[in-house]
Copies of this chain bind each other. A is one copy, B any other.
Amino acid sequence: MTKPWFKNLRQIEPYVPGEQSKNENIIKLNANENPYPPSPQVMQALREIRPENLSLYPNSNAQKLVDAIAQYHGVKSSQVFVGNGSDDVIALSFMAFFNSDKPILFPDITYSFYPVWCRLFNIPYETPKVDDNFKIIPSDYYKPNGGVIFPNPNAPTGIGEGKEFIKDILNHNPDSIVIVDEAYVDFGCYSSIELLKEYDNLLVVQTFSKSRSMAGMRIGAAIGNEELIGVLNAVKNSYNSYTLDSVAIECGSAAVNDDEYFKSTLLKISSTRDRVSDIFKKMGFTVYPSQSNFIFVTKNDISAKALFEYLKSKNIFIRYFNLPRIDNHLRITIGTDEQMDTLIKETENYLNGLK
């Protein structure tokens, strides 16, 4: 590289998004998408978009969606921030809240984007190890730090923690912003939103991509005290005033307002998850207790990677991570019962073939 302007380029290791197949006949259990469609009211809101919704700028606060989320959670609208997927919300939160010289803390096994944002924004970080059962050890988060973030339930393990665990971390971190990333919380995990009344340094992040079947629409939200939300808005308005388009605002509001559909979808997924977990256990897998829309499994007498490749050859895509400590594990998104039955059948075929 000899071009004179090369020295001004950002030196960055390209982050490669997860594998996408163009084959539409696959069973796609690799991205934690929801197998059920979004609420019919979302599709209705989409059909009602008028040309002027597109030709005019959106409301830069996405006020309609903010109000719907605030009402849903019983908080003030000034406590809610929305962004272009929870990745956008978390990226802006890193810029807004992690400005210390001390390292921020998050588990070694967790959402793989956290260290990517740290490198992008030059934020120092440390990654305390989860224990051998992949549980976060709260006392690792007692030391001085520049902030704390962890998903609850954690990814890619699906393991969730309860109120006392969250309170313990908050009680030991009065000097830091603590972000609880609740991307998968709706599938049966404890939500920290009620703790906002007690802790002004808590920020809860959620997404519409999983439980609300709207990964294609890119909507994430943060809920916290007014002051944190104010700083988040100031940073967002210094980056991009209009992150959410008018269609997302309308469709997102419709999704929040159809709670009955939401709850029925959650019930279907958690019931399928529990059934599939039991069957994988019977097949000899270790299945970690999942409070999410995926299960994390291992079987110490087989190669996870080989099973992953076998299933791929059968057009079933699950997720394999070639990472320390979890390189013999698999993350499987919960699809429909029919999809999971095919997965189970092929997994049995594979295991029988090894005998």
Contacts and interface: CB of A to CB of B under 8 A. Distances in A.
Interface of A: 3-5, 7-10, 12-17, 20, 28, 31, 33-38, 42-43, 46-47, 49, 51-60, 84-85, 87-88, 91, 95-100, 116-117, 119-120, 146-147, 174-177, 200-201, 209, 213-218, 227-228, 230-231, 233-235, 237-248, 251
A233 to B, nearest CB: 7
Contact of A245 (B5, B59, B213, B216): B216
Given A31-B56, A91-B239, 14 more contacts: A5-B175, A5-B176, A14-B234, A20-B57, A20-B59, A43-B51, A43-B54, A55-B213, A57-B209, A84-B84, A84-B243, A87-B242, A120-B235, A217-B245
A218 B237 contact: no
Contacts of A243: 84, 88, 218
A160 to B, nearest CB: 23
Q: How many chain copies does the complex carry?
A: 2
Contacts of A176: 5, 8
B216 A53 contact: yes
Given A95-B10, A147-B8, A33 B55 contact: yes
B235 A58 contact: no
Contacts of A146: 8
A148 to B, nearest CB: 11
A337 B351 CA distance: 73
B60 A231 contact: no
Nearest to A58: B216
B241 A57 contact: no
A252 B77 CA distance: 32
Contacts of A10: 95-97, 99, 231, 234-235
Contacts of A117: 238-239
B5 A55 contact: no
13 contacts: A5-B176, A8-B98, A8-B146, A8-B177, A9-B96, A17-B237, A43-B51, A46-B49, A53-B216, A87-B242, A91-B240, A120-B239, A218-B245
Given A8-B176, A17-B241, A235-B10, A55 B84 contact: no
Contacts of A33: 55-57
A57 B244 CA distance: 16
